[in-house]
Each structure stands twice: as structure tokens, then as C-alpha cells.
Amino acid sequence: MTASGAVPVGERVPLGRSAVSVTRFGLGTAPLAGLFSAVGARQAEETLTSAWDAGIRYFDTAPHYGAGLAEERLGHFLAGRPRTEATVSTKVGRLLVPGDGDDDEVFVGGTGLTRVRDYSAEGVYRSLSESLARSGLDAFDIVLIHDPDDHYEQASSAAFPALRRLREEGAVKAIGAGMNQNRMLLRFVQDEDPDCVLVAGRYSLLDRTAAEELLPACAERQVGVLVGGVFNSGVLADPRPGATFDYAPASQEILDRALALARVCADHGVPLAAAALQFPLRHPAVASVVVGARSAQEVADNVAHASRAVPEALWAELERMGEYRP
């Protein structure tokens, strides 16, 4: 981070002790595959182009996103760009099979495929093979085990060993897990030799619980941290009645807390969204913040927020305010 507090969007940094580097901001591709509302192919292409033109070179995707649509769209876009410039992560743990609809469905539109949880070694190999075919890429730089909340034993005994073999063989450069919780990620960091973790929603201006144990453990072991969910699904981007916190309607208590944060930021001439985007990067264990976008305008807005200088006085005041505690 520069002395003025602004974050160089396209600055590349090492991802933990791995051979992978990522830009300080990455683009999450779930919105491009119809998360909550449909996005057309042209709009998706324009969004990706806007991110690339802004200097973003880290892209995160998954079979889960649009039942394969995000991987297809990202792969199509990268086919026209120098592959060595981009760092791409995908995920394993959900296989796609013929069918319509499932319990995880939050995406608008259909590909004729449905998701089946599978954290076995065979499931990992099959998932990665199908992701390569779907995207047209020759390799993924980072592979993460996706949301194994109710599947710890299989993730630990089968998925991680499979990923370690792929890493040893040079098929992938970095491995880890991506989740919306701290506790299991901490167990993986302590027991499974990951290169990185992606923690969503647990290191934000509202929820800083990842800083208690997870981030210190990652720093100690040189495990790179990718942070998603910096807006806690919306309330830190636009705190108003009807805003969401962790994908559910925000309580009045949470909304009041977000509005208080917004007032403090406004007193320093900084939008709340700018502080929310930049906050995680102040921790030395955090390599990149991954932010989803569904339009070129959203990318432009996020880049402007990321590039805005934030005075140290504001950070000090936000630190004194602490996090929301229910």
C-alpha cells in the first residue's frame, strides 16, 4: 500500500510461499454467470474487458457459478489475451451432471446441468478435467476446495491429498480451500499444507473474526490469504433499508452499524465502499481482495474506490470502532 493509502489495483504480489502471484484486486466471476439476476454474454465480455484494462489480472471462478457458465465465459475471454499474464483460480467439490435445479441454486438461467457434491479424489480429478474442457484453458494456477462445510472428513482424507498430488506433479501451482467460515479453514491451514485460503465475509469492516486466529496462522505458515465478501453481500456497499448482510436481510442493528461506519467515512471524505474494499489489504497476510462485478460500470466503480486515498486518521477511527458483535 502506498503512503497515501491508495491501493495499486494491478500491483502483483506473491501468494504466500507459492510460485503464484496475484494482483491486489481480483475479479470474482459469479455475477457474470447470473448470480441473482441474468447477465448476457456481451455484458459479461465487457465486464471482463473493463477489469483487464484496469490492470486486474487475477480471476476467480468455479463450476458452481452458473453451473459452468462462469468458467465458459472466462475461458472464452482469456483465449484472446496472453495467458501468462493472468492468474486463474477455480474450485472443486461440486460436479455438474445433467439435470435442472438443486439446493444450491441461486443463479438465474440454466445450462441443463445440476450440481452434485463430491469431495473424493476421483471427484477432484473429474471436476478439474471438466473445468479445463469447459474453459478451454490448458491449466489453472490455483485450485480451491469449495465450501466443504459438511464434508470435512472427505475433504481432508481425499480432496486435499488429490490436490497435493496434482501440485507435486506440476498440474497446478497452488492449492487451498475457499469458504465463508474461519474454523474449518484454520484446521486446513494447521493440518493440510495449503498454499492459500479464500475466506469470504469474515474479514470486513463489519466482521473481523478472521483476524483472531485464521490470519495469524496464515501469516505464521506463509499461507496466502484471498479475501472475498468485503461488502458482506451488500450492506457495506450501500447501507439502506432492504440491504443484505451475508445474503439475508440485514437486521436493524447491523444496518445501524453500517450507517455509523458510513458517517465516519463521510467525515473524512471517503465513501464507505472505498474503505470496505481497501480494509483487508492492510493485513500483511492478505494478498488480494476478490470482488465480483456484473458490468463494466461496477468494475469502474470498484477500481475508483480501490484507488482512492484513505487517510490514516480514518483507519485509526475505524479501528477504534471495532467490529460488529451481535
User: Exposed, middle or buried, 176 (CB in 10 Å: 0-12/13-18/19+)?
Assistant: buried
Give me the pLDDT at residue 2, please: 40
Spatial contact of 170 and 116, defined as CB atoms under 8 Å apart: no
Distances (CA, A) of 266 to 99, 259, 262, 280: 49, 10, 6, 19
Q: Is residue 144 part of a domain?
A: yes
Give me the pLDDT at residue 108, please: 87
Q: Give strand pairing partners of 26.
A: 58, 290
Q: Fill in the amino acid letter for 290.
A: V
Q: Is residue 248 part of a domain?
A: no
Backbone conformation region of residue 226, classed left if phi is above 0, alpha if psi is from -120 to 50, else beta: beta
Q: Is residue 200 part of a domain?
A: yes
Q: Is residue 224 part of a domain?
A: yes
Given pLDDT bands bounded at 50, 70 and 90, which one contains residue 39?
very high
Spatial contact of 63 and 74, defined as CB atoms under 8 Å apart: no
Placement of cell 479464500 in the chain: 198
More confident residue, 71 or 104: 71
DSSP structure class, residue 41: H
User: How much is the pTM?
Assistant: 0.95
Give me the pLDDT at residue 195, please: 98
Q: Is residue 153 part of a domain?
A: yes
Given pLDDT bands bounded at 50, 70 and 90, which one contains residue 261?
very high
Residue 217 has pLDDT above 90, yes or no: yes
What pLDDT digit, counting tens, does each position of 24-35 carry?
Answer: 999 999 999 999
Given pLDDT bands bounded at 50, 70 and 90, which one contains residue 8?
confident
**Number of domains forming the structure of the chain:** 1
Distance CA(311)–CA(302), nearest Å, equals: 18
Q: Is residue 1 part of a domain?
A: no
Give me the pLDDT at residue 76, please: 98
For 181-212, the DSSP string reads -SHHHHHHHHHS--SEEEEESSSSSS--GGGT
Given pLDDT bands bounded at 50, 70 and 90, which one contains residue 101?
low
CB-side exposure of 304: number of CA atoms within 13 Å?
10
Distance CA(306)–CA(56), nearest Å, equals: 12
SS3 of residue 297 by DSSP: helix
Q: Which helix (H) or strand (E) holds 257?
A: helix 252-267
Instruction: Determine the straight-line distance between the first and last CA of the chain, rounded to whole angstroms.
Output: 32
Q: Fill in the amino acid letter for 303.
A: V
> How high does pLDDT run on average in the chain?
94
What pLDDT digit, counting tens, does each position of 149-189 carry?
Answer: 999 999 999 999 999 999 999 999 999 999 999 999 999 99
Q: Is residue 158 part of a domain?
A: yes
Q: Is residue 251 part of a domain?
A: no
Sign of the torsion formed by the C-alpha atoms of 203, 297, 263 and 246: negative
Given pLDDT bands bounded at 50, 70 and 90, which one contains residue 324?
low
Of the segments 111-120, 195-204, 317-326, which one has the largest average pLDDT value? 195-204
Give me the pLDDT at residue 5, please: 57
Residue 118 sits in which domain range? 12-232+272-321
Residues catalogued as catalytic: 65
Residue 136 has pLDDT above 70, yes or no: yes
CATH number of the domain that residue 198 is part of: 3.20.20.100
Residue 100 has pLDDT above 80, yes or no: no
What does the buried/exposed string (b/e) look like for 106-127 if buried means 16 or more CB atoms within 10 Å of the residue's CB? Answer: ebeeebebbbebbbbbebbbeb
What pLDDT digit, counting tens, does each position of 59-80 carry?
Answer: 999 999 999 999 999 999 999 9
